[in-house]
Structure 1
């Protein structure tokens, strides 16, 4: 009850205080400020559920006695990894609006946050909000205007948290989920899973869709999500998990690392590999109720994973950065070769550039405080008038 009271007090303070952060810093992602290269790159964007650098070993800068994610750590080390330190690291600024999948998704694809609402079920809030965000211009709109075919594919039902209200806005933007997989006979008879379908069944379907899109005469973008490392339930062990790892959550983390790396290895053998940029990103930190891994003991700074593979660009400075989910919006477009006037879109900053993020410019604490306040600009410009 004490925690609920504190949350309510914080919510009231935020909503009686207005911020002008959007008026002062928001950059609309219009066609006149985003410039695509002549040869457009394909994009495969993988949101890895609750995936943290915390899961690697002490030696690698993680917080475990041994490395649970050797494949993902190696990918981060060998490719572009925006880090809060001088080694492999990641996003270190978090607050309630980006600590769950749908909130993080909106931030990463628009540079804008789902508004702060006092309700215990964030996903219920997201479902209501997603249908109101019609005026908000996002990554899907930008790529559509640039001629991309797009697919949004995930193992759970995409009605969850209103995801299907946020994406799939165009005829060449398709949504695929467990409902489609069942209808196509892709799942075993009487298959049941609390989140729809496990990753080991989803990944072969992803490969099929990549192959189909690659045959078409247009660049493509596939956005997908893993789910087996969902921390609230303590992860989901599958037939691919290492039986020597006895803890289910640790086993799921280790298995997810291998499955994602295997997908990238498969992609690397395709003729369209050189024209494809892959982005891996942990969508948010894990719930602390997950057992079997060490989290923030002894003041350890938790960060989510990120890795950009095959980008035609080299960052000015990818290390010792302070950033959050909103910065992935312009960074994603930059990663596929776009140039962005002013280096900012939404409230996010292109991490490839030398422009400081708002977390760096304002200070992380000030930014977090301001972004959670009420915004008249947000309500007037991003929400449908229903």
Structure 2
């Protein structure tokens, strides 16, 4: 006797299981995110849904796969087994028959309830409220570099701009104003005696990361354009050669206009977060990333460590690139981004010392030593005399356990200017943000800026108040989180499909 397959029953069971799995996955994923990241900004989640994830560290992907995806499969399987057991045992019970008959409805309810709980846990409701509130703050305070006079010195200075992944001023000792028992950055903080550090305290300190600048590409946007990275949830994706903030005017645009040779050197894949779009479309930077190292034979095919290749190799390649750039008649801008200090717990190279029980502390101390050795090498080169070095963190660390006990409002981003040609009016007790790096970097190179303002940033070497000092940091963050028609129409300008 041939048994006819019941497709209707199969589809009902399959859909119920799928909805149950998705419900469990949403809750488990929020658990993973909350336990993994030091802070969670829903605007970052929205942004990364619109860019390629290629280039993400395998450590993070594996962590999500095992802790969230596989976990959800196991839990869903157990729940299905339990439900099936009760279906067989109580199949003649009238009440249970009614419940089983409504299994899809129950699965939908579970999906909706769990989904709402997950969205609340990642602050999605706050995000929705923020983006549905109109603000004219950016329109009223934005300064377009094309509209002000920007005067370079007769002898244009070179720029070496080093983004240090997750580097905070907080890593210094409590005696210095930080939160560590020991100063994890002895070499970098020592440079403050000969260079310039803008601090939020009377001691060594740093800059605040305002709203929508708290992940790497957003931090790069903030420091190069003086703008937050605010992408509406209904906007197009940043794939291929889509325009990236086409209305913005960045330091790359300015230096390109002045004839600089520009290069972005990173040990990861430049397309991650659409970093390649930012730097190629704003300054025509040469992209020297993980792919380039594989293609030109510096690395063997298939080589991949951490996010691409280690920082020790990055600094070795930087020396080669600097010598090549310095041999050209044009001034240069080499912008770099390290990766070893990325969460979770960073990447400790074999040559690094192990002086602390916490593995992340060892990575931070090693990064401090690597940058020190690189800067000391630069100082021995002929081009150093006419070169300004800017060393700055991109954002606060997302390594949750490191600063879980420290209020986020007390943490700041590391910043240091070496070989600046101007002296600051005041460095301590400043309420400054990473937005202020844009005009401040140019000023440190001897560039005169009409009004000392670019983007939403203020030249910290001047005596002008920053927007955070003028309006207060809390108000600044609130306004940057709101919807701005001016930003969308004049700066973002993404053409919808």
- The answer to whether the 8 A contact 2:196-2:427 is kept is yes
Q: Is the 8 A contact 2:254 2:283 kept in 1?
A: no
Shift of 1:56: 1.6
Distance 1:370 1:171 in 2: 29
- Whole-Å separation in 1 of the counterparts to 2:306 and 2:281: 27
| Structure 2 residue matching 1:168: 3-state secondary structure | helix
Say which of 250, 270, 273 aligns to 1:158. 270
Aligned partner (choices 454, 469, 481) of residue 372 of structure 1: 481
Q: How does 1:102-251 map to 2 (within 5 A)?
A: 102-115=217-230, 117=232, 131-169=243-281, 173-187=285-299, 190-231=302-343, 233-251=344-362
TM-score (norm. length: structure 1): 0.92
Distance in 1 (CA, whole Å) between partners of 2:178 and 2:398 is 17
The correspondence of residues 59-138 of structure 1 with structure 2, limited to 5 A, is: 59-95=175-211, 97-115=212-230, 117=232, 131-138=243-250
Residues 233-312 of structure 1 mapped to structure 2, 5 A cutoff: 233-289=344-400, 291=401, 293-294=402-403, 296-297=405-406, 301-312=410-421
- Structure with the bigger RCO (C-alpha within 8 Å, sep 6+) is 1
Shift of 1:112: 1.0
The structure richer in helix per residue is 2
Q: Does 1:360 align with 2:476?
A: no
Which blocks of at least 5 consecutive residues in structure 1 are unaligned?
Answer: none
Q: Is the CA contact 1:25–1:347 (under 8 Å) kept in the aligned structure 2?
A: yes
Sort the Cα spacing of 1:198 and 1:61 in 2 relative to 1 into closer, same or farther, 3 A.
Answer: same
TM-score relative to the length of structure 2: 0.72
How far apart are residue 382 of structure 1 and its match? Answer: 1.1
Q: 1:104 to 1:125 in 2, by over 3 A?
A: farther
1:21 pairs, out of 121, 131, 137, with: 137
CA distance 1:126–1:335, change in 2 (3 Å): farther
Give SS of 2:175's match.
coil
In structure 2, list runs of 5 or more residues that go unmatched: 1-26, 28-116
Deviation at 1:167, TM superposition (A): 0.9
Structure 1 residues 380 and 161, CA, compared in 2 at 3 Å: closer, same or farther? Answer: same
Identify if the C-alpha distance between structure 1 residues 37 and 298 changes in structure 2 by more than 3 Å, giving closer, same or farther: closer
Structure 1 residues 125 and 65: CA distance shift in structure 2, 3 A: farther
How many correspondences in the alignment? 378
CA deviation vs aligned residue, 1:332-357 (integer Å, no higher than 9, x gap): 11111111111111111111111101
Q: Deviations over 1:12-37 (max 9, x none)?
A: 21122111112211110127421111
Note the C-alpha offset of 1:184: 2.1
| SS of 1:266 mapped into structure 2 | helix
1:245 deviation in Å?
A: 3.4
By how many angstroms is 1:300 displaced? 8.1
One of 33, 36, 57 as aligned partner of 2:152: 36
The question of whether the paired residues in 2 share the 8 Å contact of 1:71 and 1:261 is answered with yes
What CA distance in whole angstroms lies between the structure 1 residues aligned with 2:330 and 2:375? Answer: 21
Query: Which residue of structure 1 lines up, in the alignment, with residue 81 of structure 2?
Result: none
Q: Is the 8 A contact 2:158 2:387 kept in 1?
A: yes
Which of 334, 349, 371 matches 2:458?
349
Distance in 1 (CA, whole Å) between partners of 2:126 and 2:407 is 27
Identify which range, 218-227 or 61-70, moves more after superposition.
61-70
CA-to-aligned-CA distance 1:272-302 (integer Å, 9 cap, x gap): 111000000011001142x4x4564488821
Structure number, greater radius of gyration: 2
For 1:283 and 1:251, the matched residues in 2 are separated by 19
- Give the CA deviation at 1:303: 1.3
Cα RMSD of the aligned pairs, angstroms, is 2.3
Report the alpha carbon displacement of residue 82 of structure 1 after superposing the two structures with TM: 0.5
